[in-house]
């Protein structure tokens, strides 16, 4: 099975639990456990109202990591304010940005964090029990919030970031808009280009967006045997163009295009989408893709401004 078919295989299930109250834990790795070459990172863990672990990942302790965390929480909770967050320190860049953004935050001391990691561990999960210490601490913090052992409140904004509250609010709005645009794209594809959902579990990923923008209508990749050579040449040209634009490496793009071609061949063409509607379908898909990309561009601009601030002495 292609990587593009396996990747984020639980995406459909994730959509079913997106609009729930979620709780997030942030824990830093012990310097002794982190390679000297590694930058400062945080482990984030998200659980739902029942304490079930939904997501674990590492983020950088910088504005880009903050943006990644905000996008994750918007996706899981359906909105920028639908998540409470607990951290093991208020010295992190990410927690400072969370405070400046006015997000509910709880800070726990080291002894409490270790206690939560033990008390709220899932003894029935071998994977969780054998996870790294930072991951267990992050999960413990998230479940401590869910169980009521911790309470998240709005903390005062750090003085040096008080002037960036509007920037953070704008970023939150764009993150929510991006999530809505991604949902709209999925629904457009479901009705007009179902093969794309077969090929890409998450059509809002950068490579998927680029391929769909270049090939927004299934007829562009489907053809008879007699036309096979012409189609192959066109696909090679599209892949080369995307690689030249720096979207991804050539192998990754070729794999994405191949996954789309296979999905088109396995998906019956809907009678309603006839040749008369081909141009409208292509334009609609392109505009839906552009909507997601516009939000991404706005978020990148704001994160760039925050990054410049983070590297400038106060």
Q: Summarize the confidence of residues 31-60 as an average pLDDT.
A: 79
The token pair that represents 238 in the structure block:
């599209």
pLDDT value, residue 263: 92
Tell me: pLDDT of 313 over 70: no
Q: Summarize the confidence of residues 21-37 as an average pLDDT.
A: 70
Final residue in a domain of this structure, among 157, 185, 201: 157
| Rounded distance between C-alpha atoms, residue 62 and residue 114, angstroms | 24
Alpha-helical (H) ranges within 79-227 are 93-100, 110-119, 126-129, 133-147, 165-192, 194-199, 206-214
Q: Within this chain, do residues 135 and 183 fall inside the same structural domain, yes or no?
A: no
**Residues 136, 114 contacting (CB under 8 angstroms):** no
Average pLDDT, the chain: 83
**Tokens 């990172």 — which residue?**
41
**Tokens 């935050």 — which residue?**
105
177-211: per-residue pLDDT in tens? 999 999 999 999 999 999 999 999 999 999 999 99
Tell whether 132 is covered by a domain: yes
| Rounded distance between C-alpha atoms, residue 292 and residue 178, angstroms | 6
Query: Strands, E, within the chain: which ranges?
Result: 22-28, 41-47, 53-60, 83-87, 104-107, 153-154
Final residue in a domain of this structure, among 128, 157, 186: 157
Q: Within this chain, do residues 204 and 109 fall inside the same structural domain, yes or no?
A: no
Q: Within this chain, do residues 141 and 232 fall inside the same structural domain, yes or no?
A: no
Q: Within this chain, do residues 186 and 137 fall inside the same structural domain, yes or no?
A: no
Q: Within this chain, do residues 30 and 58 fall inside the same structural domain, yes or no?
A: yes
Q: Within this chain, do residues 118 and 208 fall inside the same structural domain, yes or no?
A: no
Q: Summarize the confidence of residues 288-303 as an average pLDDT.
A: 96
The token pair that represents 204 in the structure block:
């809002």
250-260: per-residue pLDDT in tens? 889 989 998 99
pLDDT value, residue 251: 87
Longest dimension (CA), the chain: 71
Q: Within this chain, do residues 255 and 302 fall inside the same structural domain, yes or no?
A: yes
Q: Within this chain, do residues 93 and 36 fall inside the same structural domain, yes or no?
A: yes
pLDDT value, residue 228: 46
Q: Within this chain, do residues 34 and 104 fall inside the same structural domain, yes or no?
A: yes
CATH of the domain at 126: 3.30.420
| Rounded distance between C-alpha atoms, residue 222 and residue 215, angstroms | 11
The domain total for the chain is: 2
In angstroms, what CA-CA distances link 147 with 84, 104, 207? 12, 16, 39
| Rounded distance between C-alpha atoms, residue 309 and residue 19, angstroms | 33
Residue 122 DSSP SS3: coil
pLDDT value, residue 220: 81
Tell me: pLDDT of 81 over 80: no
Tell me: pLDDT of 271 over 80: no
Query: What is the pLDDT confidence band of residue 312, given thresholds at 50, 70 and 90?
Result: very low
Domain of 216, in residue numbers? 175-311
Nearest in space to 233 (alpha carbons), one of 241, 212, 260, 266: 241
pLDDT value, residue 127: 80
pLDDT value, residue 183: 95
Tell me: pLDDT of 267 over 90: no
Top pLDDT among 114 and 219 is at 114
102-160: per-residue pLDDT in tens? 999 999 999 999 999 999 988 777 787 788 999 999 999 999 999 999 999 988 888 88
């Amino acid at each position: 099975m292609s990587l593009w078919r396996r990747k984020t295989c639980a995406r459909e299930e994730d959509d079913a639990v997106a609009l729930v109250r979620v709780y997030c834990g942030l824990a830093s790795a012990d310097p002794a456990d982190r390679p000297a070459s590694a930058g400062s990172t945080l482990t984030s863990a998200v659980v739902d109202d029942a304490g079930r672990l939904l997501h674990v990942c590492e983020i950088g302790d910088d504005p880009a990591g903050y943006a990644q965390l905000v996008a994750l929480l918007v996706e899981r909770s359906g909105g920028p304010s639908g998540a409470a967050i607990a951290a093991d320190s208020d010295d992190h860049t990410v927690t400072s940005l969370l405070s400046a953004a006015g997000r509910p935050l709880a800070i726990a001391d080291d002894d409490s964090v270790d206690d939560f990691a033990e008390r709220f561990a899932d003894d029935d999960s071998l994977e969780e029990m054998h996870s790294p210490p930072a991951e267990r601490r992050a999960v413990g913090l998230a479940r401590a919030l869910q169980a009521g052992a911790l309470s998240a409140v709005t903390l005062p904004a750090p003085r040096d970031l008080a002037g960036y509250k509007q920037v953070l609010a704008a970023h939150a709005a764009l993150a929510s808009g991006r999530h809505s645009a991604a949902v709209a794209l999925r629904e457009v594809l479901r009705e007009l280009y179902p093969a794309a959902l077969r090929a890409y579990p998450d059509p809002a990923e950068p490579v998927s967006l680029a391929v769909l923008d270049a090939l927004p209508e299934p007829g562009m990749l489907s053809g008879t045997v007699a036309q096979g050579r012409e189609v192959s040449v066109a696909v090679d040209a599209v892949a080369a163009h995307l690689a030249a634009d720096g979207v991804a490496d050539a192998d990754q793009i070729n794999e994405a295009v191949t996954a789309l071609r296979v999905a088109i061949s396995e998906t019956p063409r809907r009678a309603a989408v006839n040749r008369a509607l081909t141009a409208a379908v292509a334009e609609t898909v392109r505009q839906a893709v552009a909507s997601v990309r516009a939000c991404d561009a706005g978020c990148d601009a704001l994160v760039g401004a925050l990054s410049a601030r983070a590297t400038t002495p106060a």
